[in-house]
A and B are shown apart, each in its own frame.
Chain A
Amino acid sequence: MLEINNLKSRIGDTEILRGLSLTINAGEVHAIMGPNGSGKSTLAQVIAGHSDYVVTGGEVNYMGNDLLDLEPEERAREGIFLGFQYPVEIPGVNNAYLLKAAVNAKRKHQGLDEVDAFEFLKCAREKMAALGMDSKFLNRGVNEGFSGGEKKRNEILQMAMLEPRLAILDETDSGLDIDALKAVATGVNNLRAADRAIVLVTHYQRLLDYIEPDFVHVLSEGKIVRSGDKTLALKLEEKGYDWVREAASA
């Protein structure tokens, strides 16, 4: 589904991704771990198409096409979803309105009619209930005045409504209490499917207790320095990132 080959990227003059390669197939769940500042969010933003991140080398192939050729909205409509580490507030724009516009943008791209307003609301309410979100959040401004946990749940709600092919969740677990973490994990697990891939960017093993990954990668200084199965995460927890760094430079 996604093949990243020797990807290099910079912000301003600073090179951040320094030759990153990663292959993700449909049906898989990958966890990407690594110390602060190692480039995890940068990778997520490059895949989503943020223009601040300049790609200086390498290729990204998505569903058989050159991903880097597509505008951010085209990538989204083609099924790429990014759960942001810091979801932005958009005051005045109704949360339900944005959600519906997003669903309809995708449906239009697929040649489908706009979603029926009643069906849409029903579906959104169901998903919110499953996430332990009060449906009053539908009528608030997008992320406006939401707590950290509420913002993250809102990202998961959007993901659930959009049913992406490739979902990248950037530290969706950080700042969540245990109930919120469980709710988010349930939301993600419900989406696991043979035709869908999920990438969890995380700091902590904690999330992986609830969402079991097929692969774990460790990112350090803009490269994947180690890959393995879920036991790698446990090992990291035990030995810390210095262990990986030493292993990488050894």
Chain B
Amino acid sequence: MTSENLESLVNRRYEHGFVTDIETENLPPGLDEGVVRAISKRKNEPEFMLEWRLQAYRQWLEMQEPEWAHLHYAPVKFNEISYYAAPKSDEDRPKSLDEVDPKLLETYDKLGIPLHERARLAGVAVDAVFDSVSVATTFKDKLSDAGVIFCSFSEAVLEHPELVKKYLGSVVPRRDNFYAALNSAVFSDGSFVYIPKGVRCPMELSTYFRINAANTGQFERTLIIADEGSHVSYLEGCTAPMRDENQLHAAVVELVALEGAQIKYSTVQNWYPGDENGVGGIYNFVTKRGDCRGANSKISWTQVETGSAITWKYPSCLLRGENSVGEFYSVAVANNMQQADTGTKMIHIGANTRSTIVSKGISAGKAQNAYRGLVKVMPQADGARNHTQCDSLLIGKDCGAHTFPYMEIKNPSARIEHEATTSKISADQLFYCRQRGISEEDAVNMIVNGFCKEVFKELPMEFAVEAQALLNVSLEGAVG
């Protein structure tokens, strides 16, 4: 970047009142080093963080956007995105639920979302959301008593720089892939969790309680560290449709499990999928990876993906510690024009490492759903075991399911099992249910929920109930 460019950028910012009215200002669209510096400065980050971002940016410049055979989408115009959008000021937000799109409210109704929660989800100004603030504080106290650190990523950079420095990028290196590099350069905020040695986190951690980091979805960064012998269960996302105007989502999630530690990470993703014609909707390009760094550690991913126009996501496990365990339970729904390309990678490095993959793909309308999974067993991983079960359910005749299981086995002692099925909801099944008085829609829901049972049972209880309701809503009108 030339000094001339930088100067004009600085001037432009000044022109738009960046310095004087920092609270409500977005950075102008486009990405260069100046923007990266501005983001870092805006967050008062220490030097090491800025350096880290800049290196990521330079690496990103040299990388190519990936092309995937089963995803089709208009190219993302990286120069038209604004890379820093400050949280909406309260004036810009709806003042009450009366100002919120009735269609969104109708969906909340169907999902049985409690009233106070609806306001928060719909982006109603926080001070109108009476309950949440006090709830959040109560939980914070309880967590800090246990020594658990749970805060926004920005806060962690300032308050716990030694932990951030040590672990950030240690699971997903900056140059891991195009979107990870982009995220590393410009990430806005996210969650940070540290569970000390031997501590069982006293509650499920959820982004739900971290209202201060609202509207940071676009380039979210999450880092969870479970120290030796600790346990944590983390819930990401929310089960109701989020009001979100960002089109491109490129998040990075890194999990580190040290010796004997266990991390359970559950996601229910329901971003705007676009309309029936494929207009609008979110591109969800996420890099999620867990590192079972210590012996006997365990990382378990559970995801229910019903939203987004395009999903490109492979939560993965690096099974480095001896006897470590990786699990992946997934339900991915694609309806209308949605496209999902999701799966996992299980990389067996340590001896006697085990992994389980259960993937349930549901396609309806004209949607395409692909499972892409890699099981890799390194030469030193004696006695590695994997079981993969990959099931597809088709609703209607215009949708598709694709399965791409990749295996790279470099140790002859490995035991790898793969099962795959494809089934259709048949007209006979629906008629049978209807003859018993059950409506077609309820029959579809029943069959779909039955199909997903193995995954739902991995979710925390209340989450499972909501996920089920969500699935029903997202498949509405899928038949007939």
**What are 26 residue pairs bridging A and B, where the CB atoms are less than 8 Å apart in the complex?**
A49-B434, A50-B431, A52-B427, A71-B434, A72-B435, A73-B435, A76-B434, A81-B435, A84-B432, A88-B426, A88-B432, A90-B432, A90-B447, A90-B450, A92-B450, A92-B453, A93-B447, A94-B450, A97-B446, A102-B437, A105-B436, A105-B442, A141-B450, A158-B436, A162-B436, A162-B437
Known: A73-B439, A88-B428. A93 touches B450 (CB 8 A): yes
A165 within 8 A of B: no
Determine if A92 and B434 form an interchain contact, defined as CB atoms under 8 angstroms apart: no
Q: Closest residue of chain A to B431, judged by CB?
A: A50
The contact of A77 among B423, B426, B431, B437, by CB within 8 Å, is B437
Which parts of B438-471 form the interface with A (CB within 8 Å)?
A: 438-440, 442, 446-447, 449-451, 453
Contact in complex: A105, B432 (CB < 8 Å)? no
| B: contact size bracket | 20 to 34
* Bound Cα distance from A103 to B426, whole angstroms: 23
Interface string of A51-80 (1 = CB under 8 A from B): 110000000000000000001110111000
A162 CB to closest chain B CB (Å) equals 7
A193 within 8 A of B: no
Please report the C-alpha to C-alpha distance between residue A57 and residue B316 in the assembled complex, in whole angstroms: 61
Chain B hits for A82, CB < 8 A: 435
A4 at the interface (CB under 8 A from B): no
- Asked, given contacts A91-B423, A92-B447, A93-B447, whether A98 binds B453 with beta carbons under 8 Å apart, the answer is no
Are the C-beta atoms of A105 and B435 separated by less than 8 Å?
no
| Interface presence of A101 (CB below 8 A) | yes
Minimum Cβ distance to chain A for residue B176 (Å): 37
A48 within 8 A of B: yes
Say how far A28's CB is from chain B's closest CB, in angstroms.
22
Residue count of chain A within 8 Å CB distance of chain B: 31
* B residues less than 8 Å from A101 (CB atoms): 436, 438, 442, 446
User: Which A residue sits closest to B432, measured CB to CB?
Assistant: A88
Any A CB within 8 A of the CB of B433: yes
In the assembled complex, A109 has its CB within 8 A of some CB on chain B: yes
CB-CB under 8 A from A91, the residues of chain B are 423, 450
Q: Does B96 contact A (CB under 8 A)?
A: no
Residues of A within 8 A of B446 (CB): 93, 97-98, 101
Say yes or no: A72-B429 contact (C-beta < 8 A), given A91-B423, A92-B453.
no
List which A89-145 residues lie within 8 A (CB) of chain B. Answer: 90-94, 97-98, 101-102, 105-106, 109, 141
Q: Which residues of B contact A48 (CB under 8 A)?
A: 431, 435
Complex CA–CA separation, A175 to B427 (angstroms): 25
- A86 vs B447: C-alpha distance when bound (angstroms): 19
A228 beta carbon closer than 8 Å to chain B:
no
A-B contact sample (8 more), CB < 8 A, given A90-B429, A91-B450, A106-B437: A76-B436, A91-B423, A92-B451, A93-B450, A98-B436, A105-B437, A158-B436, A162-B436
User: Chain A: which residue is nearest B426 at the CB level?
Assistant: A88
Q: What residues of B have a CB within 8 angstroms of the CB of A88 in the complex? A: 426, 428-429, 432
Distance in Å from the Cβ of B104 to the closest Cβ of chain A? 28
What are the residues of chain A within 8 A of B453 when measuring CB–CB? 92
Residues of B near A90 (CB, < 8 A) are 429, 432-433, 447, 450
- Cα A102 to Cα B427 in complex, Å, equals 18
Q: Which residues from A are CB-within-8-Å of B438?
A: 73, 98, 101-102, 105
CA distance A49 to B431 in the complex (A): 9
Knowing A91-B423, A101-B442 touch, does A72 contact B434 (C-beta < 8 A)? yes
Choose among B428, B435, B447, B450 the residue that contacts A76 (Cβ–Cβ < 8 A): B435
**Residue A37 interfacial (CB < 8 Å):** no
A240 adjacent to chain B (CB < 8 Å) = no
Chain A residues with CB below 8 A from B435, complex form: 48-49, 72-73, 75-76, 81-82, 84
B440 contacts which chain A residues (CB < 8 A)? 73
Q: Which residues of B contact A109 (CB under 8 A)?
A: 437
Contacting residues, chain B, for A102 (C-beta < 8 A): 436-438
Nearest neighbor of A105 in chain B, beta-carbon distance: B437
